[in-house]
Structure 1
Amino acid sequence: MNRLSFLLARTLRREAPLAALSLSEDALLARFATERVALVGNARSLSGTSFGEEIDAADLVIRLNRAPMPSATSHGTRTDALALATSIKAEALERLSPRLTLWMSHKRKRLPWHVATRRGFYLHPREDHADLKQRLGAPPSTGLMMIDLLARSRAAEVTLFGFDFFASLSLTGSRSADRVPHDFTAEAVFVRDLLQRDPRFALRSAGT
């Protein structure tokens, strides 16, 4: 597919040509199999921790959206996979240099050419987003979509860092919880229930 064809498919919301650029969901989940995964969220509270070495010691480090890393001490340095629901400049993506680039948003018109044409690109199915939205009663955050996806994988371990469900706001903006479309109370309940039923999952927060 050339760039013009891509822009046309994106504008007209033609899913099949865009999906043809993507790894299948089964192929992506196979990449997670047997791995010890660190999923790094963007809560401001992570900046006050010393989890960086633990994050970088994982087999696979997944970051979200623009992946702020204010300190190696708190956030580590590696980015093996980047899960996106917002735009990112090509230069910033090259600096992060993820092996996998996951477009999690159901909004195809926002999908950049330089993301869709990277090796290891994955387009998250709209139906998965819709199913999770129905379960939560609100649009899911990028982080929760990744948690749900990892729960369906055969990852050996999944440790969550930088998830406090907007209690400390986000490193990537100044909006409060009431100004974003997500229901963080519902997301916290979702994760709490997952932690109780799936021993592979752990949540690391300040003081733990």
Structure 2
Amino acid sequence: MSKNLTDIITPTPGWMRFQLAKRTGDEAVLAAFSLPFDALADEAKGKTVALVGNARSLANTEQGAQIDAADIVVRLNTAPGRVTISHGARTDWLFTSVRLPREVLRDLDPARVFWASSKRKRLDYGLAKCPGFVLTPVSISADLIVVLDARPSTGMIAAATLCALPFTQIRMHGFDFFSSLSLSGHRAAKDVPHDFDAERGLIMEMAQADKRLKIIKPRA
């Protein structure tokens, strides 16, 4: 059985302070575990990034080489269905809103792990203690909720976060906004708390306003 990172944590004063901060919403204490968000600008400056979504339709493409050609490759949650020819091989940054089994992190081996969700109570202490941990600013999710009138998906949060950094190009692969469902589960659009039509519209608006952002069609 897969074990989450918290399964191997022995309670310590730091662990107890972390648990209290989660329950009370003390963002300052939680942020102390994270790389300062502003420091990411130096890593992103002048670089290209490929954001790889979990749409099932990506498996029907040969976009892997294009994905791996980016300076930074970003994946989502448990990043299922990775085949080199369609999905590429590298994972440099990982955005997640779910608890990650230890073997997933060992397999993906990202340099940076971002907790995307504004639901801080779901954050594992073990994940927060990982080298390269980044707590995505809660303001990003809060702004998206206002615009979308729905809870944003991890991919939507990742896209907004990357657009806030000085990349020279941001390519989105494997995003068909649930038209082909997701490789990460078997739920239909009606079973998830996201409005994918609203997310599609917002991404298109972002791409019009920000010429760095390119949406690579999943079946291209």
Tell me which interval the TM-score lies in, with the shorter structure as reference length.
Answer: over 0.9
Partner of 2:3: none
2:157 to 145, 149, 152: 145
Range that drifts further, 69-78 or 179-188? 69-78
Distance 1:14 1:91 in 2: 30
Contact 1:80 1:99 in 2 (8 A): yes
Partner of 1:169: 181
Q: CA deviation at 1:206?
A: 3.6
Distance 1:147 1:126 in 2: 14
Runs of 4+ in 1 over 3 A off after TM superposition: none
Q: Tell me the amino acid that sits aligned with residue 18 of structure 1.
A: L
Q: Confirm whether residue 119 of structure 1 aligns to residue 127 of structure 2.
A: no
Partner of 2:96: 84
Partner of 2:199: 187
Q: What 5-or-longer segments of structure 1 have no aligned partner?
A: none
Query: Number of aligned pairs?
Result: 208
User: 1:189 and 1:2, CA in 2 relative to 1: closer, same or farther beyond 3 A?
Assistant: same
Q: CA deviation at 1:105?
A: 0.6
Aligned-pair identity in percent equals 44
User: 1:141 and 1:206, CA in 2 relative to 1: closer, same or farther beyond 3 A?
Assistant: closer
Q: CA deviation at 1:207?
A: 4.0
Partner of 2:79: 67
Partner of 1:106: 118
User: 1:159 and 1:112, CA in 2 relative to 1: closer, same or farther beyond 3 A?
Assistant: same
Distance 1:206 1:110 in 2: 31
User: 1:12 and 1:50, CA in 2 relative to 1: closer, same or farther beyond 3 A?
Assistant: same
Partner of 2:168: 156
Distance 1:188 1:45 in 2: 16
Q: CA deviation at 1:89?
A: 1.0
Distance 2:31 2:176 in 1: 33
Q: Deviations over 1:76-107 (max 9, x none)?
A: 11000000111101221122111110001111
Contact 2:175 2:218 in 1 (8 A): no
SS at match of 2:178: coil
Distance 1:173 1:53 in 2: 25
Distance 1:53 1:106 in 2: 33
Distance 2:132 2:82 in 1: 26
SS at match of 1:62: strand
Partner of 1:199: 211
User: 1:206 and 1:132, CA in 2 relative to 1: closer, same or farther beyond 3 A?
Assistant: closer
Contact 2:52 2:73 in 1 (8 A): yes
Q: Deviations over 1:130-158 (max 9, x none)?
A: 11110111111111111111112110111
RMSD value, Cα = 1.4
Relative to the length of structure 1, the TM-score reads: 0.94
Q: What 5-or-longer segments of structure 2 have no aligned partner?
A: 1-12
Distance 2:40 2:69 in 1: 21
Contact 2:52 2:174 in 1 (8 A): yes
Matches within 5 A, 1:17-56: 17-56=29-68
Relative to the length of structure 2, the TM-score reads: 0.90
